[in-house]
Structure 1
């Protein structure tokens, strides 16, 4: 059976994709940064673990040996262009037949976010590589509610308060698990999707006033959303220990969000996988342990 490479395999989309592919009986090589308990969990699923570095061409070449299709994802930190270039080169050498690239909805030629601009450039690198590629551009993940560095998780737990610089603008949060369902399908049946760029959304647009109401129901206590300004958001991120690269990105996309760039919805996930993505209410109930 043809083997599939999953980079970022201990991250949200990577681990779910690995899990789903293994459940379908596919051979998976899970690329991780280091061997730890998260990698052990993937190994227990039957995945082959490869500890490597996307910023090391030799390592990437080894990861891609004998691989038919691959999922590429890189965290919000410096190095995306180098990692993309190395991966594209190694993929050409390996004769990769299909590639799914995780980009983001704010990726565009003149983005004020350094990361979003790098994602746009990375898409162009993959486009020119000759590898059949599908780009994914998700809106904000539903997991935003559970990420400690830039979420309000501590405030939600302690005083039922959400603070973001998003005003009353709406978006349709999309869960990592639903993205993984799409990713796994694209990796297995890629030909009809090569050369496509898919914006990804959850099923319902809502603002954080709406999300606060949902969390109030899940937690059985009042949760309030207080809109803040981007400068205050920047200060909060720094106080939470966020690195400057992440702060620059999140503050830039906060303005993009206000401008409506993250808004919208579609049925791409449902059409390709046969099942609609989960709602914020369903996500919060499935992950309610985070909020207590």
Structure 2
């Protein structure tokens, strides 16, 4: 979505991809093979780049090391500014385990000497319908905590705006959220209305949450990440709603109800 917005604006760009054949064919865009690693191939792909939009890697147990290596490669070839997709509440002590990896990446970028802008995305509301089980239930230890969920397209709008004039956003941290912080009970009600079936939320205990997710055979780090998504909400770390999307783009973010109505 970001690449298409930049192409529509007439900006030249390089699209770095592990699988170049999967990259979109866009005017003014070159596709180069690269990975989240400090390799000769990655350095060659970054050579001459002034502004790097660094989208965080797919969740995996080595993501922190991959991010740090990629930052090192960018700094080594003279990249001047990194715009990084981080996570809301990124901190070494965050409840959500993967937010700790984002904090480490932010720190490494800051220490690199490159200019930076951090886009701290909230939970993606695009994903919420997939959290509903076949029985119409969302389960997790979130209690009555609130999350200011955001549409990915709103994140893309912010990123494209920043990338068109990165110097104006240097040294800034933007909390990217939707317009309202909702409990999972409220989300379930909204989802049910738009999906045309009853959707409810069940507040699991932490023990129940681990047990239900371990049945998928996922590794321990992944199970902990899944469970801590909900406990972070319970601890108030996924909100409140921010005005940063409006402040950067001039347009407010869409609500969960608006998103579902359009999709």
Question: TM exceeds 0.5?
Answer: yes
- Kept after mapping to 2: 8 A contact 1:218/1:284: yes
Bigger shift: residues 60-69 or 275-284:
60-69
Query: Which segments of 5 or more consecutive residues in structure 1 lack a partner in the other structure?
Result: 1-15, 288-292
Q: Give 2:98's aligned residue.
A: 115
Q: What do the CA deviations read for 1:59-113 (whole angstroms, capped 9, x no partner)?
A: 3212212322111122221233332332222222332232111121242133355
Q: Give 1:81's aligned residue.
A: 64
Provide the rounded CA distance (Å) in 2 between the counterparts of 1:243 and 1:30. 31
The offset of 1:174, in angstroms, is: 0.7
Give the alignment partner of residue 83 of structure 2, picking from 97, 100, 118: 100
List aligned pairs for 1:185-224, cutoff 5 A: 185-224=161-200
Bigger shift: residues 164-173 or 224-233:
224-233
Provide the rounded CA distance (Å) in 2 between the counterparts of 1:234 and 1:71. 35
Q: Give 1:244's aligned residue.
A: 220
Q: What do the CA deviations read for 1:190-214 (whole angstroms, capped 9, x no partner)?
A: 1122112222210011111111121
Q: How many residues align?
A: 262
Q: Give 1:30's aligned residue.
A: 15
Change over 3 Å in CA distance of 1:268–1:209 after alignment to 2: same
Matched residue SS, 2:104:
helix
Bigger shift: residues 83-92 or 212-221:
83-92
Provide the rounded CA distance (Å) in 2 between the counterparts of 1:177 and 1:23. 15
Q: Give 1:21's aligned residue.
A: 6
CA-atom RMSD in angstroms: 2.1
TM-score by structure 2 length?
0.89
Q: Give 1:267's aligned residue.
A: 243
Q: What do the CA deviations read for 1:169-220 (whole angstroms, capped 9, x no partner)?
A: 1121011110111111111111122112222210011111111121122122
The offset of 1:45, in angstroms, is: 6.2
Query: Which segments of 5 or more consecutive residues in structure 2 lack a partner in the other structure?
Result: none
Structure 1 stretches of 4+ moved >3 Å = 44-47, 111-114, 240-243
Matched residue SS, 1:43:
coil
TM-score by structure 1 length?
0.81
- Kept after mapping to 2: 8 A contact 1:135/1:198: yes
